[in-house]
Amino acid sequence: MDPVDVEKVLSELTLSEKVALTAGLDFWHTVPVPRLGIPSLRMSDGPNGIRGTKSFNSIPAACFPCATGLGATWDAELLTKVGKLMGEEAKAKGAHIILGPTINIQRSPLGGRGFESYSEDGVLSGTLAGHYCLGVKEEKVVATLKHFVCNDQEHDRLGVNSIVTQRALREIYLLPFQIALKMSSPGAIMTAYNKVNGIHVSEDKFILNDILRKEWGWKGLVMSDWYGTYSTSTAINAGQDLEMPGETKWRGYALEHAVSTHKVAPHVLDERVQNVLELVNLAAKSGVPENAPEKGLDRPEDRALLRRTASESIVLLKNEGSILPFDKSKPIAVIGPNSKISTYCGGGSAFLVPYYAVSPFEGVSAASSSEVRFAQGSYGHKELPVLGPLLKSPDGKPGYIFRTYNEPPSAENREAIDERHLLSSNTLLMDYINPKIKSETFYVDMEGTFTPEDSGIYDFSVTVVGSGKLYIDGELVVDNSKNQKRGTAFFSSGTVEVFGSKELKAGQTYKVLFQFGSTPTGDVPGREGSVFGPGAYRFAGCRRVALQDSIAQAVELASKTEQVVIFAGLNSDWESEGYDRENMDLPPGTDELISKVLAANPKAAVVIQSGTPVTMPWADEAQALVQAWYGGNETGNGIADVLFGDVNPSGKLPLTFPVRLQDNPSYLNYRSENGRVLYGEDVYVGYRFYEKTEKPVLFPFGHGLSYTTFTRSDLQLTTSKDNTVSLSLTVTNTGTRAGAEVVQVYVLPAPTNSINRPPRELKAFKKVVLQPGESKSVALDLDKKVATSFWNEIRDAWASEEGTYEVLVTGTGGKEDVLKAKFEVEKTAYWKGL
């Protein structure tokens, strides 16, 4: 793929060709112009892995920990390595552009996509995102910062008006974009779905042109989120270069007409097209050919990086009496709903099919040299677990046979026009194409066998965009083909989950048949608006358990085993694009399970998997508590590495864990109400609020323990002529294990500041690895102007006010060994730009 002469090509393009270049060709590609050598570029989702272009039967990929897990590493160098592998994975999928990283701020624990973003703090988020983008750039692949800006909830996300002060917009929500752009200058930015102060961001000239282009001097491409374009001339004039996906809804003839009627000036259209052409040249450097085939990598060195990242993301919240690490030579009891399920990522566009996924039970079993016992205790699913991986095809492989027909099941002598072997039974058919399909209405039979390990009543369910019937040994168990109700599945295009049940015997093999009809066969209200074309399906099932009996079995096991670990938390059912969480609670029955197991064995370790905070009413009783996030392919191994001490935990919380939902600063102002959401907490987001109000928290921002101990000493500050404040200190590992310390640098406002400010704000951080007894000198630099500024709404500029500012340096142990020093700002200054 060769670069193009932008000026020459721009002069030779026809109006219709220019217009075509400002919109996508299909879901993942830009429009080519072969006669002028303009290729089609490919994009792929990329918050935690590169899925490729296929939703149906996609090529497996490397899956990293979710973004809050990456944020918990506080490791900029590691994020560069993550970005580099993301770039290599993109090349394997033939993608020139990665749709990530996501760097929105978690203003509430309830955000459905909160797990996709790094932190509640802009400096941490922006710095890590910048290093991620630098890693991607090493492979000459284009990263895309998203979602620009204030896309912090899923409720009414296409239309909600985010009402936010200019100060909060600058200090909190734009800040991570500003930092990442300054550090790495990625090639693209994706606009948010929502409005900001009354104007959709995709149409907001103030944000896209005045701030992004003029003030920050950024010259890359601005694309819409998928179906996030809402106008023709307004969006073009505001600075949105590319409408995605194709086929276009707002460009095409409508844009040609707007140009001919002077609603869009020719030079403005040329600016949009020029940015597309510049992106072509940037993407050409990757060496990825046009329309390249998709493949996987899954190299040993990649697995090692995935495992390292998973383990470094884990945060040790409590470890009273040094219960952890466990002894590999002793028996261990594994209990809980997340034990045998690999909860490797959240739901929505971040979801992908991994090369492999290691469950916590598998990870513990592989690491232990003694007996590993198991008790379920309770379930943690919101929807029944998918059935596909538990089935067997006729050749004995996991999965089922997928056969497509033009005729319904009632037709005699019908013949299959397609046959495939699939594993997942949670599938979008949006890109399923077969030239033998005669119309939009077609049918699929999916067959496999199921051999249960335990006898009992099994519950089954079906969710569809279309229609579906599930048969077990010829008996209709679930019928989701009529009287359908719309639910939240498949980005709110699917039905609610419909259930049925059947008693099964252990060891007996049953024939499972799922009959699916494409979208037109369904009658769910509003199905005409589905973006998934042929439809979608999900068939699922598991053995019904009596909660109290199952908890009793877990308690019995825990009481008889010295080493016990409980795996609980959320999963992609609870945290997903398309909807927000209703509360912070763990799934029903989980708290009771944990409490009763802890009562039976107080030394049981609790491991929670979630992308955002959860309530922990049993936290005081837990002596060993671990936050493990969604850990990607190596989830189970990464957790086991920490539990058994092969890796010394070094993660720190990238967001505050409140005691209750009611305690969080956005509690009164979350969700869309009559089309708007008030950012009433202003700049007091996350730890800024809790520290300002002195409200107790469950676990604070930046908290995380280690199996070793550290001291920080000898803080020195010097200011250079270019107004750089240089910090140096000594960090010592005073324990018996090698470990990593995160040095956190906060700046306190000057007492003379003219407005109220948070008590302290993170301004720099650095991770340092130390052997037992080792000391290292750590140096960090602060831009004095940037580190002391707030947004002055009257001056419409950043203000660094004169006065005395204090620096606090913290790390493992929090308020212990806090180092303090002061520096002066001699004269008030106002500034703009990056």
Secondary structure string (H, E, C) spanning 809-832: EEECCEEEEEEEEEEEECCCEEEC
pLDDT of 814: 63
186 CB neighbour count, 10 Å cutoff: 27
Show the tokens assigned to 351: 């979801």
Q: Which amino acid is at 474?
A: G
pLDDT of 118: 98
Show the tokens assigned to 831: 């500034």
pLDDT of 468: 98
225 is catalytic: yes
The answer to whether the CB of 473 falls within 8 A of the CB of 527 is no
Q: Please give the class, per CATH, of domain 6-284.
A: alpha beta
pLDDT of 524: 82
Tens digits of residue pLDDT in 246-277: 999 999 999 999 999 999 999 999 999 999 99
Positive or negative, the Cα torsion across 525, 528, 530, 532?
positive
pLDDT of 721: 85
pLDDT of 530: 56
406 CB neighbour count, 10 Å cutoff: 17
CATH code at 710-831: 2.60.40.10
The answer to whether the CB of 598 falls within 8 A of the CB of 592 is no
CA atoms of 358 and 826, how far apart (whole Å): 56
* Distances, alpha carbon 25 to alpha carbons 32, 39, 95, 144, 222, in Å: 8, 11, 15, 19, 16
Show the tokens assigned to 292: 């390249």
Q: Which residues of the chain have pLDDT under 50?
A: 529
Place of tokens 């001919």: 260
The answer to whether the CB of 116 falls within 8 A of the CB of 350 is yes
pLDDT of 488: 85
Place of tokens 């990825």: 288
Secondary structure letter of residue 385 according to DSSP: P
CATH code at 382-543: 2.60.120.260
Tens digits of residue pLDDT in 773-820: 999 999 999 999 999 999 999 999 999 999 999 999 999 976 667 999
3-class secondary structure for 110-171? Answer: CCCCHHHECCCCHHHHHHHHHHHHHHHHHCCCEEEEEEECCCCCCCCCCCCEEECCHHHHHH
pLDDT of 816: 64
In 3D, which of 709, 719, 735 has the Cα closest to residue 781?
719
| Domain assignments of the chain as residue spans, ordered by start | 6-284, 382-543, 710-831
Task: Characterize 324-342 residue by residue with b for buried, 16 or more Cβ atoms within 10 angstroms of its Cβ, and e for exposed.
Answer: bbbebeeebbbbbbbbbbb
299 CB neighbour count, 10 Å cutoff: 13
The helix (run of H) or strand (run of E) holding residue 541 is strand 536-543
Which one of the listed residues 225, 241, 445, 580 is annotated catalytic? Answer: 225
Tens digits of residue pLDDT in 91-146: 999 999 999 999 999 999 999 999 999 999 999 999 999 999 999 999 999 999 99
CA atoms of 514 and 501, how far apart (whole Å): 15
CA atoms of 84 and 297, how far apart (whole Å): 13
DSSP codes joined into one string, 305-365: HHHHHHHHH-EEEEEGGG-PSPPTTS-EEEESTTSSS-----BSTT---BS----HHHHHH
The size of the chain, in residues, is 834
pLDDT averaged over every residue in the chain: 96
DSSP codes joined into one string, 718-762: EE-TT-EEEEEEEEEE-SSS-EEEEEEEEEEPPTT-SS---S-EE
